Structure 1
Amino acid sequence: MKTRHLASLLLAGAAFLCGGMAAAQTGPQTAASPANRVLRVAPHADLRTLDPVFASITITRMHGLMIYETLFAWDNQLNPQPQMVDQVETAADNLTWNFRLREGLKFHDGQPVTSRDVVASLKRWMARDTVGVKLAEYTASLEVIDERRFALRLSKPMGLVPFALGSATGQIPAIMRESDATTEPTRPVTETIGSGPFRFNRGEWRSGARIVYDRNPDYVPRAEPPNGLAGGRVVKLDRVEWHIMPDPATAAAALQTGEIDLWEQPSQDLIPVIRRSRGIAVERYASLANQAMLRPNHLHPPFNDPRARLALAYATDQGDFMAAGYGDEQWWKRCGSFFICGGPNGTEAGATGYATPNLERARSLLAESGYKGERVVMISSHDIPAIGRMAEVAAASLQKIGLNVDLQFADWGNVTSRQPRRDPPDQGGWNLFVTTASGGTMQSPVTNIGTNSACERAWAGWPCDAEAERLRNAVVDAVDEAGRKAALDALHARLAVSQPYRVLGQFDQPYARRSNISGVLNAPVMVFWNIEKN
């Protein structure tokens, strides 16, 4: 009773504050639009990086899907469907793929989308993303045929071409203008001109406060009904406003009072409170569970030694992390699979030995790695409460085995800006961070950003394991289901030893909406077409 009473008091106080805050954030264009044509959303984080090909951050991917499109798009079963293309021809040997863009594609500045834009965009994406890098390994050439047609020629067959070109994970293969796509891949694009259903309103962007998207009146959606990220992206709103509310009690109160219409990732400890509120629904929007992870930096001691990484597995109890991050066990479960339990690739081969902590073994492995009490820098943020709480659990768990953990908190934007830095920890780098990723991202060896062990081409943390990469290729190359399953188990057993990251468990992330909001799609990330406000 005391916990519930305290939560109610917090919400009441936050409700008083958020009314004035929301009024201050409301711009003149909002007043000009009918109330039922403006959707106000509290997203899980602030938007700092605008380029979805440069960064794999979820909030940047959500932004990218607002303003850009991809050649294919995943439906709610993660099957690729045509999006920007209207015709695909493949040769009998599956080495040549010819694509034609559908008519009516225009960038927000009025320029038509051409195959030159596509080729430049894909080449940049192939230099950045886990899926793109894998496709690049199979690519012999990528060429313009004419204004609407282009050809992809492979050096060996790969059945995942449409799946890759519709990827909704990591850095998405967003199609940009050629002038933007020729930007050096290691430098983020700062322009925001796409061809998608929304336009980024740069004039009303207030970092740390509000991000605004206006309906693109020139956008022509596909004729098919919406399905996941695929089908017709029909916008039924004039604009979408993301209001940054890092304090969960403030966001919950704003939802209750109608200051916002939708809370993308409500804090689990407040779900029981808002669920009891009249006119609010709490629902799932993704069919696969999400994954939490503890990511070590493989470049610097102590976690450049696999024994120190194994110590992380033996030192941590998934139940501690999940309970701290996500509360009620109805929202989470233990799982030793890098590729999501309950998904098509959910093997736990080789990982069962880490299901229960073994602190003695962890201390022994840490000593064998040569660790002698040096400072270990863990970076985190309370902007996403579950991540901040899990980071605190991680620090406490690792201190028990003798790690000298320096837990440094900052805002999430600074944390994600620091992640790509390869500098030593005492020069602005890092040793560890806790993060989460969608089930759609982690369920496949092709898309799982954390198990990519391709050294400098891997995601932040940079695992470098030639054997793991060989086994990952074997999964991609497998010609039948039996061969694929055998290769998958062998890969997972290798990953269990090399520990590119420690799996902390998996969880369902619900969203909360007011009852007058409908049309939220089941998709790997939240999207805002098809949504209506009555």
Structure 2
Amino acid sequence: MKRSDVMARPGRWLRRGVLAAALLGAGLGAAGAQPAERPLRLVVNVGLQVLDPIVGTSFVTRNFAYMVFDTLVALDGKGEIRPQMLQGWTVSDDGLTYTFTLRPGLEWHDGTPVTAEDCVASLRRWGGRDSSGRRLLAATKELRAEAPDRFVLQLSRPFGGVLDALAKPSVHVPFMMPARIAGSTPPTEAVKEIMGSGPFLFQADQWVPGERATFRRNPRYKPRDEPADGLAGGKAVFIERAEMINISDPATRAAALQNGEVDYLEYAPLDFLPVLSRDRNLVIAKPGGIAQIMGGVALNHAQPPFNNLKVRQALQMALDQSEIVAVHGLPDGMFLPSCQSMTLCGTRYSSEAGGEALRDQSLERARQMLRDSGYNNERVVLLHPADSALINPMAMVVADRMKRIGLNVDQQTLDWATAAQRWLSREPVERGGWSAVPVIYTGFDMSDPLSNVGIGYNCTGTAPWLYCDEAMTPLLRRFEAEADPERRRAIMADINRQALLNVNFPLTGQFSSPAAWRRELQGVVDFGFPVLWNIRRAPR
């Protein structure tokens, strides 16, 4: 049976059995077992395994964190930076001193007040992990609390993206934590206590790693007195309970949404978009711009064979984006045949400089490049996250093309949670290490070069792929010091050219993958990833 035949009668009973099993596994089944109150049920793309947003690199950890933590500033729906936990800020005439003031009444989930000391400790911990944060702190002379509600960031040299860094919307987001936690936990170690000040309370005793996380409305949270707008504005919560669940099978996800067992899919299964789009009870999001997705292959630059630039260049030549993205069967307008911009095409820093040689990617050319590289048949351990509806089909094409050019591929199929843990390993492949991981990122992660996974972590040693290109360092330094948008775009062209030349993070294609939710959910903020504030459930 074709996947598009999800509503056909022959598969009905099998589908119902699979759906029942999945929902029981997520704690949602069994007649009479549900409480009288209906929780809002969000199906995330992969299971939640890591709770600390400074350690975790997955979207699901970011989604979790936006529910329980809060940020100093936030992007609205137009990409403008607005105060969130802050009342406001001032900047000195020379642009080197920023003074931030917290808005009154902020409390941690245990009832203690949020202070400037908490914010300073949180920023220091985030800056020890995140690419933008590291660069910001490297340009900082002093970061200190001046009063319980006020702190100062004094730069030692010009840094044009202070507010951009603080407003970073995706991995790794500068979420605030109590100083007693942030100040005592290294950024490479997960915090042992989840204590935020955000709109939801995490129910740690009900967490089933990889399957289900549950939340209650935070009665202490004081939303801003403004309409919700993107990640900014008033984060008012109108539902008492919410659940993040994992249903790995795409057909089961689609059926669960159509039948009303779940309310919201982070990503609608692409195979089922025609069916879901015809259902009047559903709303399909319309992602564009920075909400689009770019696929890529994270490479282990520290170990053979991808410590060899010529091997990386051979792989890049093999990754025909039109072939890889075609596996999703997307309609026109939802994908690009090719984009060689590390910051995504159609975003503010878009540039395809250096991509001219990749206009005509070819397996035959890639084979010859691999033969000329000195490749010695080293084993390539490819971690293949099969439970991700978006990564899985692209990963199969990537693996096939790697094998067809002559790489000795050991394709290890596993769930994303396991792949994410293995990805952090720095052991050689003989001791459980890895060589390559097909992944996806949104424009929220990629559109700013200082936070871009294939650019911003250059020579930092803090990301799993460990790339270090000495020629990139002065370009990034010029970009971070520059404040003028036009000059920044010119520098970005040089950065893109160098990133493609060094093959930091070979791209596999840009496309859209919309969310979907039940029409009875009113006030959904369509921002490109799920946020559960501002939502009311229409009466049935």
Q: TM-score range by the shorter chain?
A: over 0.9
Tell me: CA distance 1:21–1:336, structure 2 relative to 1, closer, same or farther (3 Å): closer
Q: Which amino acid in the other structure matches residue 279 of structure 1?
A: N
Change in CA separation of 1:307 and 1:149 when aligned onto 2, cut-off 3 Å: same
The counterpart of 1:457, out of the listed 458, 461, 464, is 461
Q: In the alignment, what sits opposite 2:450?
A: 446
User: What is aligned with 1:307?
Assistant: 310
* Cα offset, 1:33, TM superposition: 5.0
1:422 partner letter: R
- Tell me whether 1:428 sits opposite 2:414 in the alignment: no
Give the aligned partner of residue 37 of structure 2. Answer: 34
1:12-63 deviation per Cα after TM superposition (whole angstroms, max 9, x unaligned)? 532344246536714999954533xx21121111110000011221100111
Amino acid at match of 2:196: G
Amino acid at match of 1:51: D
Q: Partner residue of 1:150?
A: 151
- Is 1:332 the counterpart of 2:355? The answer is no
Deviation at 1:239, TM superposition (A): 1.3
Please say which of residues 495-504 and 449-458 is displaced more in the overlay: 449-458
Aligned residue pairs total 532
Conserved? CA contact 2:287–2:512, under 8 Å: no
Secondary structure, aligned partner of 1:120: helix
- What one-letter code is carried by the residue in structure 1 that aligns with 2:348? P
Q: Is the 8 A contact 1:106 1:219 kept in 2?
A: yes
Partner of 2:516: 512
Give the whole-Å Cα distance in 1 for the aligned partners of 2:137 and 2:439: 27
1:126 matched residue in structure 2: 127
Residue of structure 2 equivalent to 1:137:
138
Residues 204/398 of structure 1: CA separation in 2 closer, same or farther (3 Å cut): same
Equivalent AA in structure 2 for residue 91 of structure 1: S
TM-score by length of 2: 0.94
Listed one character per residue, the Cα deviations across residues 457-486 of structure 1 (whole Å, up to 9, x for unaligned) are 342211101211211222222353442232
1:338-417 correspondence to structure 2 within 5 Å: 338-417=342-421
In 1, the alpha carbon distance for the partners of 2:535 and 2:33 equals 18
Could you give the per-residue CA deviations for residues 111-145 of structure 1, whole angstroms, max 9, x where no partner exists?
A: 11111111111101001001111211211111111
Q: Alpha-carbon deviations, 1:72-131, whole Å to 9, x = none? A: 111122222111110312111111111111111101111111111111111010010011
* Contact 2:46 2:210 survives alignment (8 Å): no
Report the CA distance between 1:207 and its aligned residue. Answer: 2.2
Contact 1:86 1:100 in 2 (8 A): yes
CA distance 1:271–1:500, change in 2 (3 Å): same
Corresponding residue number in structure 1 for 2:217: 215
Residue of structure 1 in register with 2:526 after alignment: 522
CA contact 1:332–1:507 (8 Å) conserved in 2: yes
What residue in structure 1 maps to residue 5 of structure 2? 5
CA distance in 2, matches of 1:172, 1:527: 14
Secondary structure of 1:457 counterpart: coil
- More divergent stretch after superposition (254-263 vs 200-209): 200-209
- AA aligned opposite 2:231: L
Contact 2:237 2:533 in 1 (8 A): yes
Structure 1 segment 195-210 matched on structure 2, within 5 A: 195-210=197-212
- 1:286 and 1:236, CA in 2 relative to 1: closer, same or farther beyond 3 A? farther
Amino acid at match of 2:215: Y
1:487, distance to aligned residue in structure 2 (A):
1.1
**SS class of match (2:285):** strand
Percentage identity across aligned positions? Answer: 35
In 2 relative to 1, CA 6–423 (structure 1 residues): closer, same or farther, beyond 3 Å? same
Which whole-Å CA distance do the structure 2 matches of 1:293 and 1:421 have between them?
19
Matched-pair contact (CA < 8 Å) for 1:286–1:522: no
Secondary structure of the equivalent of 2:251? helix
Note closer, same or farther for the CA distance 1:219–1:30 as it changes in structure 2 (3 Å cut).
farther
Change in Cα spacing, 1:223 to 1:456, as seen in structure 2 (3 Å) is same
Cα drift, residue 167 of structure 1: 1.2
* Partner SS for 1:153: strand
Which amino acid counterpart does residue 435 of structure 1 have in structure 2?
V
Partners of 1:329 and 1:297 in 2: CA distance? 34
Q: Is the 8 A contact 2:311 2:369 kept in 1?
A: yes
CA distance in 2, matches of 1:293, 1:15: 35
Provide Cα deviations, 1:367-393, integer angstroms capped at 9, x if missing partner: 333211121100021111221111111
The verdict on how the C-alpha distance between 1:10 and 1:437 changes in structure 2, with shifts beyond 3 A counting, is farther
| Deviation (angstroms), 1:448 | 0.9
Q: Assess if the C-alpha contact under 8 Å between 2:213 and 2:245 holds in 1.
A: yes
Q: Which whole-Å CA distance do the structure 2 matches of 1:30 and 1:51 have between them?
A: 31
SS in 2 for 1:284: coil
State the match for 1:79 in structure 2: 80
3-state DSSP class of the match of 1:256? Answer: helix
Runs of 4 or more, structure 1, over 6 Å off, are 27-30
- Cα distance in structure 1, aligned partners of 2:305 and 2:96: 44
Q: Is the 8 A contact 2:3 2:272 kept in 1?
A: no
Secondary structure of 1:385's counterpart equals coil
Deviates more, 1:452-461 or 1:43-52: 452-461
Question: Does 2:230 match 1:225?
Answer: no
TM-score, normalised with respect to structure 1? 0.95
The residue aligned with 1:69 is: 70
What are structure 1's unaligned runs of at least 5 residues?
none
The CA distance in 2 between the partners of 1:166 and 1:129, in whole Å, is 13
1:509 match: secondary structure: coil
Structure 2 CA distance, aligned partners of 1:529 and 1:205? 21
Judged with a 3 Å threshold, the aligned counterparts in structure 2 of structure 1 residues 56 and 244 are, in CA distance, closer, same or farther, namely same
The partner residue of 1:494 within 478, 495, 498 is: 498
Partners of 2:483 and 2:220 in 1: CA distance = 43
CA contact (8 A) 1:72 1:163 kept: no
Does the aligned pair in 2 maintain the 1:452–1:463 contact within 8 Å? no
SS in 2 for 1:231: coil
| Correspondences of 1:105-120 after superposition (within 5 Å) | 105-120=106-121
Question: Structure 2: 5+ residue runs without aligned partners?
Answer: none
Cα distance change of structure 1 residues 364 and 70 upon mapping to structure 2, 3 Å threshold: same
Alpha-carbon separation, structure 2, partners of 1:285 and 1:429? 35
Distance 2:252 2:386 in 1: 14
Letter in 2 for 1:142: L
Helix, strand or coil at the partner of 2:471: helix
Q: CA deviation at 1:10?
A: 4.5
Aligned with 2:515: secondary structure? strand
Cα separation, partners in 2 of 1:21 and 1:489, compared to 1, 3 Å: closer
- CA deviation vs aligned residue, 1:337-373 (integer Å, no higher than 9, x gap): 1111111111100112112223343233323332111
- Structure 2 counterpart of 1:379, one-letter code: L
Conserved? CA contact 1:285–1:520, under 8 Å = no
Q: 1:266 maps to which residue?
A: 268
Letter of the 1:300 counterpart: Q
Task: Please give the alpha-carbon distance, in whole angstroms, between the structure 2 residues aligned to 1:114 and 1:424.
Answer: 44
When residues 86 and 372 of structure 1 are mapped into structure 2, their CA distance, relative to the original with a 3 A threshold, is same
Deviations 1:244-268 (A, max 9, x none): 1011111111111111111111210
Once the 2 structures are TM-superposed, how far is the Cα of residue 3 of structure 1 from its aligned partner? 5.8
Q: Give the 3-state SS of the residue equivalent to 2:153 in structure 1.
A: strand
- Tell me if structure 2 keeps the 8 A contact 1:302–1:369: no
Provide the rounded CA distance (Å) in 1 between the counterparts of 2:203 and 2:182: 21
Compared CA separation, residues 86 and 314, structure 1 to 2 (3 A): same
> CA 1:130 to 1:406, structure 2 compared with 1: closer, same or farther past 3 Å?
same
* Residue 196 (structure 2) pairs with residue 194 (structure 1): yes
Hey, what's the Cα distance between the residues in 1 that align with 2:219 and 2:12? 38
